[in-house]
Amino acid sequence: MMLARVAENIYWMARYLERAEDLARLIKVNANLTLDLPKGLSPIWGQLIAITGAEDDYASRDYNEQSVLRFLICNQSPLSLLSCVSSARENARTVRDVMPREVWEAINTLFLQTRERQQQAISKRGRFDFLVSVIEQCQMIAGILAGTMNRDEGYTFLRIGRYLERADMTSRIIDIRSANLVPDATLTQTTYDNLQWMSVLKSLTGYQMYRLEMQTRIQRREVLRFLFQSQFFPRSIGHCMSRLQELLSTLPNHERVLVATHRIKRQLDNADLAKLKQTELQLFIDQLQVGFGGIHDDLVEVFFSGLGAAKTLHPAQHQEQTG
């Protein structure tokens, strides 16, 4: 049976890898979107800081492209791309013995290259290549894991970490990105609305899949349904929760965590997204994020403490159980 600490490290490794990949996608799409917006709409970079929840750590008052990018990519704070990759590597380092060797090598390479090329990432010219290569390397690592790792508890915790992080990041992206980009009075409101929802989808690499599944033009209601409730799109919160339900049910002592996951899934299914105004939507997302935090806390207590479901196992009791 897998060591509790190892399960926890694999879980965190997966979370950090997912976070790094999602951050890279987000920055890349944002950079493209900037090119389409009227000059002077700089808050768009500030939004990225808000998505990572790091407003308080952002020392500069200036939300210009350079300083935001430096913060998101190279910063020493635990929320930058470089920190995510570095934390993924630190977690991988401690579980090197349970993963195929190629995985460690790939994560190590990802870290070394990200560190080496971080300056290039700030410049307009080098940025695209840099971000694409981070995304590709994360995808490659996921591919190596899928192709070579035993389908044991380790792989289960890897996927649990990935889906929980993905659900969380998706919710953050919707949260920030759904706020209005441009003042209501602007004549060109509709055009930018479309651009905005398209960019939400693109941040999640969901534009094409949206078209395929929803068979309709880009509009708020359908995009929200797609991102919250789709069972087919692998980055939708609904999909992530369904996978979590399946994964958790294969583990011992899963009752409590599974109940918490069911609860979130029900909230998602029952939500009447079309009726949610912007502030209500944000409230709904806040609720979801509290739920994700709850799942994490339960995972820590039940699986990562190493003491199993019965939190304080009495020695005598233990003998009875094993005897």
Partner 1 sequence: MSIDWKHYDVAGLYDEMIDSKGRPRPEARLLADYLATLDADELNQLKASADLAIKEMGVTFTVYSQEDGSIDRQWPFDIVPRVIAKREWDQVEAGLKQRVQALNLFIDDLYHDQKIVKDKIFPKALLSKSKNFRPQCVGMNPPLGIWAHICGSDLVRHSDGQMYVLEDNLRVPSGVSYLLENRQVMKRVFADLFGDCNIMPVDDYPSQLFDTLAALSPRPADYPQVVILTPGIYNSAYFEHAYLAQQMGCDLVEGRDLVVEADDCVYMKTISGLARVDVIYRRIDDLYLDPEAFNPDSALGVPGLMRAWIAGNVALANAPGAGVADDKVVYTYVPDIIRYYLDQAPIIPNVPTWRCMDDDARSYVLEHLDELVVKPANESGGYGMMIGPAATKKERAQFARLIKADPRNYIAQPTLNLSTVPTLVDGTLAPRHVDLRPFILSADQIQVTTGGLTRVALRKGSLVVNSSQGGGSKDTWIIDTEG
Residues that bind partner 1 (CB under 8 A): 1-7, 90, 93-94, 96-98, 101, 104-105, 108-109, 112, 153, 157, 251-253, 303-310, 313, 315-316, 318-319, 322
Smallest separation, CB 304 to partner 1 (Å): 8
DSSP notation for 142-202: HHHHHHHS-SSHHHHHHHHHHHHHHHHHHHHHHHHHTS-SS-TT-TTHHHHHHHHHHHHHH
What is the SS3 assignment for 258-304?
A: HHHHHHHHHHHHHCCHHHCCHHHHHHHHHHHHHHHHHHHHHHHHHHH
* Residue that has been written with the tokens 């304080």 in this structure: 312
Smallest separation, CB 55 to partner 1 (Å): 31
Closer to partner 1 by Cβ: residue 97 or 184 = 97
Smallest separation, CB 222 to partner 1 (Å): 40
38's tokens: 């009227």
Closer to partner 1 by Cβ: residue 292 or 304 = 304
Closer to partner 1 by Cβ: residue 290 or 307 = 307
Residues 6+ apart with CB under 8 A from 277: none
Smallest separation, CB 132 to partner 1 (Å): 21
Smallest separation, CB 75 to partner 1 (Å): 21
Smallest separation, CB 94 to partner 1 (Å): 6
Q: How many residues does the chain have?
A: 323
Of the candidates 32, 8, 20, the one whose C-alpha atom is nearest the C-alpha of residue 196 is 32
Instruction: Assess contact for 92 and 6: CB atoms under 8 A.
Output: no
Of the candidates 290, 287, 310, 301, the one whose C-alpha atom is nearest the C-alpha of residue 257 is 301
Closer to partner 1 by Cβ: residue 252 or 293 = 252
Residues 6+ apart with CB under 8 A from 155: 145, 149
14's tokens: 């997966």
Residues 6+ apart with CB under 8 A from 129: 120
Closer to partner 1 by Cβ: residue 190 or 322 = 322
Of the candidates 53, 81, 34, 22, the one whose C-alpha atom is nearest the C-alpha of residue 203 is 22
Smallest separation, CB 126 to partner 1 (Å): 22
Closer to partner 1 by Cβ: residue 97 or 272 = 97
CA distance 264 to 290: 10
Closer to partner 1 by Cβ: residue 92 or 240 = 92
90's tokens: 């630190």
Closer to partner 1 by Cβ: residue 63 or 104 = 104
Smallest separation, CB 318 to partner 1 (Å): 6
